[in-house]
Structures are given as C-alpha cells and as structure tokens.
A and B are shown apart, each in its own frame.
Chain A
Amino acid sequence: MPPEPYDVLVIGGGLAALCAALAAREAGASVLLAERAPKALRGGNARHSRNLRIAHDAPSPLFPGKYAVEEFIHDLETAHQGHGDPELVRLLARGSAELPGWLQARGVRFQLPERGALPWSRKTAFFLGGGRTLMNTLYAAAADRGVEIRYDTHVTHLHLEDARVHTVPTRGPEGDAVLRARRVVCCSGGYQADRRALAAAGCPGARHYINRGSPHVTGDLLLQLLDQGAAPAGVPGSCHRVAVHACSPPEDGGIVTRVDGMPWGLVVDVHGRRFRDEGEEITPRRYSAWGRWVSDLPGARAHLILDDAGLQRAPPSLYAPVTANTLEDLGRRLGLPPGALERTVQRYHAARVDGGDDPLAHHTTGLTPPKSRCALPLEGPPFHAWTLAPGVTFTGHGLAVDPRGRIRRRHGPPCGTLYAAGMIMSPAVLGPGYVAGAALTLCAVSGRIAGEAAARG
C-alpha cells in the first residue's frame, strides 16, 4: 500500500518554490517541497539575488517616490519585446505591490534607508542580508507551517498529463524513489546550467559560458515538458548574460565575478583587435550589454586592457589583473598574436581627441569602432588586463501558463493538475528580456498564484 499522496508537490527550492509551498500550505493543503540542491546550497538563484521590483503609489519606509503599476507595466513591455503575455504582465505588476507586506508577514526583512542601510532605489526593495537570508527565512517559515522539505531530491521526470495522483520519480544520494501528489507545481527553472542544452536550443557559444548561478538548474523538466507538447514562451536559446572574469568558477560565482570599468580601458578580442565602442554604454545596462557583445566573439572571450590610472578608476575587482611592463609582453601573456595589441593601441592613440578636464569628453575620430567617451591615453608601464567571458544568469525560453499558473499545451486546454511558477515560465512575461529585480518579483508573485491555485484544485 503506497503512502497517502500529498495534496501539492512543489518541485524546486528557489523563491518561486518557497512562495508556492507557503501559499499552498496556508490554503490548507499538505505540501511536499523537493529541492535538488543540498541544504547548504538551497535556494536556487535567489541565493545570489538581492532586490525585488515593487510597484507603489506613495513613498514608504522601503522606497522614496512613487512607482505606479502602469509604469512597471511599461518597463516590462519595453523589455519583453512582444513576447510577454499581457494578462500575466498585468498580474505581475499588480501582484508586486502586496509582496513586501506578504513577505514581511513571513519574517522577511528589507533594508530600511532610515537605518542608514544602503543602497536604496525608487523601483526596488533590497533584502536585509541579501538573497540567502531571504531564503533562510522562507525555509524557516515553511518548516514552521508544516511544509515537508526534502533536500538532495532531484525529480527526474514529469508527465505532461492530468492525473488523479501524479507519481513522480526522484533521484537522491539514497537512491531512486517515488513521490505521490495530487497536484504538482513545477518551479525548477530554466536550463542555463546545462551548456549543451543551451547550445542545442540555439546558443552556439554556450559551451564557453560561465554559469553565474546554481549548477542544479539544468532545466531537464522544462525541456521534457516542451518535448511532450507544453506551449513554449520566449525565444529558444536566448539567455541573460553579463561580462564576468574568465577565471571565475564555472558555476555559482554570483555577483562578485562581474567585470566593470570597460570605459576606462580598451577591450580587444582574441586577435587583439577592438570590436566595440567602450564608451558607448555607461548606464547599469552596461553589464548585460558587454555580456552580449563578448558572447558574439570567437571563443566568447575578450580582454580589458588598462593602465594604472584606469585600474584605479575601475571598481574593485575580485581578481588581480595580469600585469606586464610592455604591451608586447602583456599580449604574449594573454596569448594574442604578436604585435596585434601594440598596433591596436597605436591606432587608438593616433585617433584620440583630447577632451580637457572632463574624462567623458575624450573621444576618437576616424577609428572603427570609435571610442565615444573616456578615450584617455593608455599610459604604461605597467599595463594590466582582465580576461572577460559571458556569465549566464537565466534563460529566456520557457513554458506558457494561464493566469492561474496552469501549464498550457500547444494544443488543447491547459493542464488541470500541473502548474509552473518562477524562471521556468518567466519568458511568458519577460520574453528574452531583462528588467532589474523583475525576475525575482515574478518568482514570488507567480509562486503565490500557482501555489494557492494548486491547493484549491
């Protein structure tokens, strides 16, 4: 006689999963949460996150100013490039407004500017202690409310079919097992940790990528469900990338592996040639812009070349740069073709137009590509270099869901007993795009909606 099935099985252990589990449990369901990671690395990519994008009508202790639901919707529409489901976009923007209160009621704390805690922004609220503290708090709240939590539990297969009771196979350190539940909420994320899957889906350079997030987010369930006829959302093979240090750990490096400061130097490809205007993008979008640009290069690698002044101007960096006394030596140490780096720097210096005291005013003329800002001379010795690689964060290809979070099929009505929330369905709202803090908000809002819907059947 198999054990009594749970009302709701939540697959995943990130923010969407925890919100789904809490919402389902609070609606009266018996809930089992299956997290693939071990306890120490639980929390999916929310571990590496820090802020939620929240609509608010008036200033509050959490935010200065006002960020209307309509403005949030507009920001999402700009980002999703026509791929977002308008109804889900509205649900997300509206649902964001009550999130801080909902999370606070479950023990989550935000950084309050009045306490002198930095940073703060008009559109996003920062967790006190970052994403790992957020997840610790939510795991504690879930355990307190009677959610059963299993770590090291990898759900290996999910049938895209309605069933009175779903029988779900799992693998863990203690061997294979089977979980039984009446309804399943799938919060297992995209496939960015599986470079082969990413390449197969249409991202040829993926094998050169560094995965900034959890190594457990391989997207096997997402890909299986798509194969079985689930309706897709977003763009296959698309993903969000930022420029990171090429020497970062291949997985889980998070925020500190980012490279910044490109406007203060020259960026060359593996042939020692410039390929992009280093002064073009100086807004917060620069991180993802460089991620994209480096992805398109041969071998998906580039080198940021700086002199002492540039190194001083660049934000602190995790890794010490490669340093040499001549450009020739630096080029050799970076494995560039002999003479290439010297030629690039020579041409750059010849094209420089001095901008006086304002560093932003220095630029080049007649150089391709130009350097439109900060075209300061590269004055060594010594010279320094950091090698850049694309660091992937999440995929822009996932499942389409209905407004209750039920997985849509390519043909026929949505599934009655299978739900999806979080990054596995975020492309249905964000498409292949990115809005700071919006993905995390989406995880929480969609998790709540799907969890509650699953509990009510």
Chain B
Amino acid sequence: MTQPNAPNAMETETEAETRRTLHLCNICGFCTGLCAVFRSAERRPALTRADLDHLAHLCHNCRACWYACQYAPPHAFAINVPATLARQRAESYRRYAWPRPLAGLLARSGIATTAVALFTTLLVPLLTLLWVPGEVLFAAHRAEGAFYRVIPWGVMSAVATLTLGFSVLAVGVGLVRYWRDIGRGGPPAVSVWRALPAAARDLFTLRNLEGGGGGCNDRSERPGHTRRRLHHALFYGFLLCLAATIVAAGYHHFLHWQAPYPLFSLPTLLGTVGGLSMVTGAAGMIRLKRGADPAPTAADTLPADYALLGLLLATAATGLLLLALRQTPAMGLILALHLGTVLGFFVMIPYSKFVHGAYRAASLLRAAMERPTDRPTGLSQGLS
C-alpha cells in the first residue's frame, strides 16, 4: 500500500497534523464503523491535500471517534480527529473561496459574518428611515402589497437578485474547483447518477451524525441524537422558508397576488413552520455547543459556528416577528430589520460557515461513488 508523502515545506501546520492523524487512523482502523471518514481515508492512503480536504468535509463533527480513540490525549500520540478535521475544513473553505481577495473573510469568519450581518441589519432600517416618509413608514398597512409600500418591490428584488446571484456564483466556482480536485485520485466505482440516491440519503438523513448507530457525543462520552435532530430542525426549517419564498414568488408572478399573504395561505404556513423550526434548531445548537465537552472542539473554529447560527436565528426570529406584527404600525421597521438580516445572510453565504453544506454534499457524493468497491476484510485482529 502507498505510504503517505513525507511532510513537505509547502504544507500548512494544519495539513501536516491532519495527515499525521488520518495516517494513524488508516493503520488503526478501529473507527471504520463510525462514519464515512475512516473508510474513505482507507481508500486514499496517499493523503494528498485534496484527500485531506475531502475527508475533512466528510466529517460531520459527531465526536464519536474522540471518545473511541485509544490515542487521544493524554496518550503520547495526542490524536484529536474532530478538532483536527474542523481546522482542516476551515482552511479548505479559504482555499476554495472565490474571488481570491475575499478569502480573507473566511480567515476570521466569525468576526466577518457578525460584522457584515450587524452592518446590513442596521443599514437597511437606517436607509428606510432616511428614505421612506414617516407617515408611510409608521402607518398600519393591511392591504395586499403592504410590504412594498414601505420598500418597493423593485428595490427589494433587485438587491436580492444581485447579492444572492453573486453568492451562488461564488459558491459555485469554489465547488467546481473542489469537485475537480477531489476527483483526481482515479476513476470512481460508479457514476454520479448511480451514486446520487445513496449520497442523498446520507445528506438528508445526516447518517454520518449517527456515530454508527449510537448517535453523536454531543456533550460527553454518552452518545445521543440531540444534535442530529436540531440540525434537521434548522436545515429543514431553512428549506421550508426557501419553499415559502418560491411559492410566494410564484403567486406574485403568475397569479399576480402580492404579499402579505393570509395566515393560512401556503407561503405563510411554510414560512411560519420553517421559521419556528429554524429558531428551535439554531437556538438548540447554540445551547448544545456551549455545553459541549471542550476537549474534541477546535476552539478557533467556534466563532464561525456561532456567527452563522446567530445569523440564521436572527433571520428566522425577525421573520416571525414581522408575521406577528405585520398589521401594526411597527411593520415597516421590522420589515426593514428582517430584510437587513436576510441581506447579511445572502452576502455572507460564500464567506461564512454556511458553505460547509456545499462541500459536504460534494464529498458525500464522491464517497458514494467510491464506496461500492469496498470489500469486507477480516485480517486485522486487534492486539494480535
């Protein structure tokens, strides 16, 4: 089998540590049942930089391997797979960031995300206050098109299209480069299309947060399923909100029916359930992180996690607040506040922790394409 490259001067400290760690994992092999990382690492023994990035993105940070590891500190080998892979992911986000000059935003993603989000969250209400006459802004609008009396539809949709469009492009460029790099190892066992169902199952069930069945080690050595459920709440809540927006756009363009929609209309129902779900998920994940055992955590990656969770929480919470108060004179300012958070989110999609979803999906797909060649092996026998 291939021995991994000797350390070279070109690699970063994080990369060297990730290679040392996963090379030891490949020799040990005790964690192969826990998640996709370890079996994928066995398929890529050379552990090139792209291999390390791919394996890091496969890691869902369930921390089961930390508690399973016979080589975790205080052992002399001081192996810390979850923290090491979290650092590798953070580096990888910067490596694939586009355009390059903006990669710096990901170096301090926590601060950048927070600063940009705060800026847009204050900027939009401020501009609204400056531009919109008080008697319009502080009136109770109840009729169809009420929102657009405060902020015109054209402005709203132009800003959204520009920012979201740029962000999708930026993520797309990074993703294409990433996909090319992780596919250089050789032809996969099956095609993209044949691997799609398995990859989709892994992605949408977060199978790799199950620790092989027992769950993640959210807080301690005792595993559980809390984190996976909270992530589901956040992720599916987000999808519901996205669906609400798409349905609303359909109503607007095809039925010529303008927002706000009644409480029991499809967009409002989707948005309400989605928003509540997002708030539950994001708040729960923040709480879980704060109570987590710090040992398997890369503390330097936490600000980015909290910043994204905080931004998603703020977006969902202001959306729900808007729903609650949309018939009152406070609607105008709350709408501006909500759109400010949404704008911050749109702008920061490629430069915050949010990008993890894109790279992870790509790696899950690639792993599903390579997996079918695996064959059971029964030679290694523990302390034989």
Real binding pair: yes
Task: Provide the residues of chain B in CB contact with A313, threshold 8 Å.
Answer: 1
Considering only residues 28-65 of chain A, those with a C-beta below 8 Å from chain B are 38, 40-41, 45, 47-51
**A119 and B68 in contact, given A126-B33, A436-B384 (Cβ under 8 angstroms):** no
The residue among A109, A212, A242, A312 with the most chain B CB atoms within 10 A of its own CB is A109
Determine the residue in chain A with the shortest Cβ distance to B34: A129
Q: Considering only CB atoms, which chain A residue lies closest to B74 in the complex? A: A40
Query: Looking at the complex, which of A173-181, A194-202, A248-256, A368-376 is the stretch in contact with chain B?
Result: A248-256
CA distance A133 to B214 in the complex (A): 11
Which B residue sits closest to A257, measured CB to CB? Answer: B27
Knowing A129-B212, A314-B1, A316-B3 are in contact, say whether A284-B376 is a contact too (CB < 8 A): no
* Nearest opposing residue in chain B for A121, CB measure: B378
Q: What chain A residues lie within 8 Å of B34 (beta carbons)?
A: 128-129
B24: chain A residues within 8 A (beta carbon): 256, 318
> With an 8 A cutoff between CB atoms, is A67 at the interface?
no
Supposing A109-B214, A128-B33, A317-B3 touch, asked if A116 and B371 sit within 8 A by C-beta, the answer is yes
Task: List residues of B (24-50) whose CB comes within 8 Å of A's CBs.
Answer: 24, 26-34, 39, 45
Residues of A with C-beta under 8 A to B33: 111-112, 115, 117-118, 126, 128-129
Whether B67 is near chain A, meaning CB under 8 Å from some CB there, is yes
Bound-state CA distance A59–B384 (Å) is 25
Q: Which residue of B lies closest to A134 (CB)?
A: B68
Nearest A residue to B372, CB-CB: A116
A120 and B376 within 8 A (CB)? yes
Q: Mark A237-275, 1 if CB is under 8 A from B, else 0.
A: 000001000000100101110000000000000000000
Cα distance A437–B381 when bound, in Å?
Answer: 7
B75 contact set on A, CB distance < 8 A: 41, 252
- Is B377 part of the contact surface with A, judged by Cβ < 8 Å? yes
- CB of A383 closer than 8 Å to a CB of B: no
Shortest CB-to-CB span from A434 to chain B, Å, is: 8
B213 within 8 A of A: yes
- The residue from B3, B69, B374, B383 contacting A49, defined by CB atoms under 8 A apart: B383
Known: A129-B33, A284-B384. A119 touches B379 (CB 8 A): yes
Q: CA A322 – CA B113 in complex, angstroms?
A: 48
| Contacting pair B32 A312 (CB below 8 A) | no
CB distance from B340 to the nearest CB of A (A): 45
B64 at interface, CB cutoff 8 A: yes
On chain B, the residues within 8 Å of A288 by CB distance are: 384
Q: Does A287 contact B (CB under 8 A)?
A: yes
Partner of B3, one of A45, A48, A133, A311: A311
**Is B95's beta carbon under 8 Å from chain A?**
no
Residues of A286-330 whose CB lies within 8 A of B: 287-288, 311-318, 320
Contact present for B70 and A131 (CB under 8 Å): yes
B64 touching A47 by the CB < 8 A rule? no
The complex places the Cα of A78 from the Cα of B97 at a distance, in Å, of: 62
Q: Which residues of B contact A119 (CB under 8 A)?
A: 29, 32, 376-380
Question: How many residues of B are in contact with the other chain, CB < 8 A?
Answer: 48
The tally of residues in A whose CB lies under 8 Å from a CB in B reads: 56
CB-nearest residue of chain B to A45: B383
A48 partner residues in chain B, CB cutoff 8 A: 70, 382-383
How distant is A347 from chain B, measured CB to nearest CB, in Å?
28
Our count of residue pairs bridging A and B at CB distance below 8 angstroms stands at 152
In angstroms, Cα B382 to Cα A48, docked, is 7
B212 closest partner in A (C-beta): A128
Q: Which of A111, A132, A318, A437 has the most C-beta atoms of chain B within 10 angstroms of its own C-beta?
A: A132
A113 on the B face (CB < 8 A): yes
A115 CA to B39 CA in the complex, in Å? 12
Question: Residue A130 at the B interface, CB < 8 A?
Answer: yes
The answer to whether A136 touches B376, judged by C-beta atoms less than 8 angstroms apart, is no
B-side contacts of A112, CB under 8 Å: 33, 213
CA distance A455 to B377 in the complex (A): 41
| Given A115-B212, A284-B381, A288-B384: A132 touches B67 (CB 8 Å cut-off) | yes
Q: How far is the CB of B224 from chain A (nearest CB, A)?
A: 12
> Which residues of B lie under 8 Å from residue A122 when comparing CB positions?
378
Given contacts A111-B212, A255-B28, contact A284 B379 (CB under 8 A): yes
Most interface-central of B2, B28, B34, B383 (chain A CB within 10 A):
B383
Check B201 for interface membership: any CB of A closer than 8 A.
Answer: no
**CB of B221 closer than 8 Å to a CB of A:** yes
Q: Is the CB of B384 within 8 A of A41?
A: no
Does A393 reach chain B (CB closer than 8 Å)?
A: yes
The CB with the most chain B CB atoms within 10 A, among A40, A133, A316, is that of A133
Distance in angstroms from B379 CB to nearest chain A CB is: 6
Contact A320 B6 (CB under 8 A): yes
For A436, the chain B residues whose CB sits under 8 A away are 381-382, 384
Instruction: Determine the chain A residues whose CB is within 8 A of the CB of B32 once the complex forms.
Output: 111, 117-119
A350 at the interface (CB under 8 A from B): no
- A134-B213 Cα distance, complex, nearest whole Å: 14
| A163 contacts the other chain (CB 8 A) | no
Contact residues of B between 48 and 70, Cβ < 8 Å to A: 64-65, 67-70
* Given known A-B contacts A115-B33, A316-B23, A393-B383, A254 and B212 have beta carbons under 8 A apart: no
Please indicate the chain B residues that have their CB under 8 angstroms from the CB of A121 in the complex. 378
Cross-chain contact A287 with B384 (CB below 8 angstroms): yes
Give 6 pairs: A residue, B residue, CB < 8 Å, sorted on A.
Answer: A40-B74, A115-B212, A119-B29, A119-B379, A130-B68, A393-B383
Enumerate chain A interface residues (CB-CB to B < 8 A): 38, 40-41, 45, 47-51, 109, 111-113, 115-122, 124, 126, 128-133, 136, 140, 212-213, 242, 249, 252, 254-256, 284, 287-288, 311-318, 320, 393, 434, 436-437, 440
Beyond A111-B33, A129-B34: 16 further Cβ-contacts under 8 Å? A51-B382, A109-B213, A117-B32, A119-B380, A129-B31, A131-B382, A212-B383, A213-B383, A252-B75, A252-B76, A256-B24, A312-B1, A313-B1, A316-B26, A318-B23, A437-B382
